[in-house]
Amino acid sequence: MPCQQIELNSVGAFPKLFLDYISKNDSLLKFYNQYPDIQGFDKVIQTRQFSEDKRKTLVSVLKKQYQGLSNSPNFDTLLQANTFTVTTGHQLNIFTGPLYVIYKIITIINLAKKLKAQFPAYNFVPVYWMASEDHDFAEIASFNLFGKTYKWETEQKGAVGRMNPAELETIFAELPEKPELFERAYLNNSTLAAAVRQYMHELFANESLICLDADDADLKAIFTGVIKDDLLNHSANKIVTETSEELNKMGYHTQITPREINFFYLQEGLRERIVREDGVYKVLNSDLAFSENEILQILEQNPERFSPNVVLRPLYQETILPNLAYIGGPSEVPYWLQLKGIFDHYGEQFPLLMPRNFALVINQASQKRIDKLGITAEELFADEVTLRRSYVERNSENSLSLAFEIDDINEVFERILRKSLAIDQTMKGPVEAEKVKIISSLENLEKRIKKAEERNQETAVTQLLGLKQKLFPDGGLQERKENFLNFYLNDKSFIEKLLEAFDPIDYRFNIIEI
């Protein structure tokens, strides 16, 4: 399976903060712990501490969550002091959502294998952190398959992981082909979190992947100290605000904004922000209100009712997992850089931040079209105007540029200007104006010549732009729009091919022919 790589800064789709981090810009050193290479892993392995009690709690929760699933991972490995996790996370998009979710999973699986080969005295477990507490249903409710969008309609509210996926049966009736593993998962489980765990387990059971649902009272109990501090002292708000201001002054756009209280109140059908007004803790969009003593009592008795937002979720993750690295996308890695101060404040080790693998997958039909057009896959990353212009110019039998002629005009007017100034110093303005007028006319003529040549090559240009649209839907990256079923339904070995193609610490964009 042919695979080539291009530099991430050639893709034209990633923020500056992300690219500067990957390129080891010295100005960002204070915002992270170690760079995500083998040397960085060596250092964090030596310093990562995780208590035996936390390991026991984690294993107990995982065994409970995996009850009923066959061929479960060996969770007891996590009880060993020489076992660490490498983690990625994502929302519970239906049918896995955009293709890059699968890329995230592939990245952590391959990373665990690579680390085991490099550090055989240790064990490394890939963990998929299911964002089961997220309540933004609109972001998970649809997916694209073979050019059509399918959407889950529901009246359910609150944390999406607690929702019943039975309503997805209506989508199965519309699909051109029913993927049985999703049908089994969605229609045989009472919560979306359980369904996602089941199909991810079926897809990656042989790769020792663990899916963790952190919406759990025992896990939240480990985090109560941070929750209490945030409710009372608002430490995270102060720390992240200062870091964000510093990054903004450096010219970077920051992704997240902290709040005074960075927790939601979570119960069945409800996940709403907690705010403090006049000494009273209120839950927005509800009638719930508590005194300080009341909310601290709830925290002690029911810690599962407190759900961290994007500011403190990363710290929660690192508090309950023996984790070494977090693998994220071009938006996630930058916002983690806003958070190191929180980790320092609470005495938790900041993980290595790694970009996930990125890819453009090209099937045989598209590759044949690329070959016929005589272009490279890398050229397709250009915008449509640039792509069309470069293709037409390269394939024209005639020169389409008037650059030489414009140079000649400049030389002629230089001579005219010298003659004019020798007679009258006020002639410079009129001469320059005439030159600009003529050059502008030539530039317009050049555009018309190129347009005429585009019409001569109209068939090929149409094919080129059609290929661009197919591989870059709506002008964006394929991985952000397409669903992996577009490939998996036609090729059940698609995941194995990705496992073979991706190198987790090669931070370039993959172009894969299948």
DSSP 311-360: TTHHHHHHHHS-EEEEEE-TTHHHHHTT-HHHHHHHT-PPPEEEEPPEEE
For residue 279, the model assigns a pLDDT of 93
Q: What is the pLDDT of residues 221-245, one digit of tens each?
A: 999 999 999 999 999 999 999 999 9
In a domain, 440, yes or no: yes
For tokens 């080891």, name the residue: 24
User: CA–CA separation, 105 vs 129, rounded Å?
Assistant: 10
16-30, 387-401, 404-418, 431-445, range with greatest mean pLDDT: 16-30
For residue 342, the model assigns a pLDDT of 98
For the chain, give the percent of residues with pLDDT over 90: 80
CA distances from 360 to 319, 356, 490 (A): 35, 14, 17
In a domain, 216, yes or no: no
Using 50, 70 and 90 to split pLDDT, how confident is the model at 259?
very high
Using 50, 70 and 90 to split pLDDT, how confident is the model at 159?
very high
Q: What is the pLDDT of residues 40-83, one digit of tens each?
A: 999 999 999 999 999 999 999 999 999 999 989 999 999 999 99
Using 50, 70 and 90 to split pLDDT, how confident is the model at 265?
very high
Using 50, 70 and 90 to split pLDDT, how confident is the model at 449?
low
- Model-level pTM? 0.90
In a domain, 293, yes or no: no
Which residue would you say has higher pLDDT here, 402 or 330? Answer: 330
In a domain, 453, yes or no: yes
User: CA–CA separation, 440 vs 436, rounded Å?
Assistant: 6
In a domain, 43, yes or no: no
For residue 69, the model assigns a pLDDT of 94
Per the prediction, the chain carries an average pLDDT of: 93
Q: What is the pLDDT of residues 463-505, one digit of tens each?
A: 888 999 999 999 999 999 999 999 999 899 999 999 999 999 9
Q: Which domain holds residue 447?
A: 376-476
How many domains does the structure of the chain reveal? 1
Using 50, 70 and 90 to split pLDDT, how confident is the model at 120?
very high
In a domain, 404, yes or no: yes
Number of neighbouring beta carbons within 10 Å of residue 390: 13
Q: What are the structure tokens assigned to 145, written together?
A: 């398959």
Q: What is the pLDDT of residues 181-194, one digit of tens each?
A: 999 999 999 999 99
CA distances from 501 to 270, 326, 361 (A): 42, 21, 11
User: CA–CA separation, 261 vs 281, rounded Å?
Assistant: 10
* Exposure letters 478-499 (e unless 16+ CB within 10 A, then b): bbebbbbbbbbbeeeebbebbb
**pLDDT at residue 402 tops 80:** no
Instruction: Please list, in sequence order, all residues whose beta carbon lies within 8 angstroms of the beta carbon of residue 144, skipping any fewer than 6 positions away.
Output: 150, 473, 481, 482, 483
In a domain, 413, yes or no: yes
For residue 438, the model assigns a pLDDT of 84
**pLDDT at residue 405 tops 80:** no
**pLDDT at residue 293 tops 60:** yes
**pLDDT at residue 441 tops 90:** no
Using 50, 70 and 90 to split pLDDT, how confident is the model at 333?
very high
> How many angstroms separate the most distant Cα atoms in the chain?
98
In a domain, 448, yes or no: yes
Which residue would you say has higher pLDDT here, 435 or 336? Answer: 336
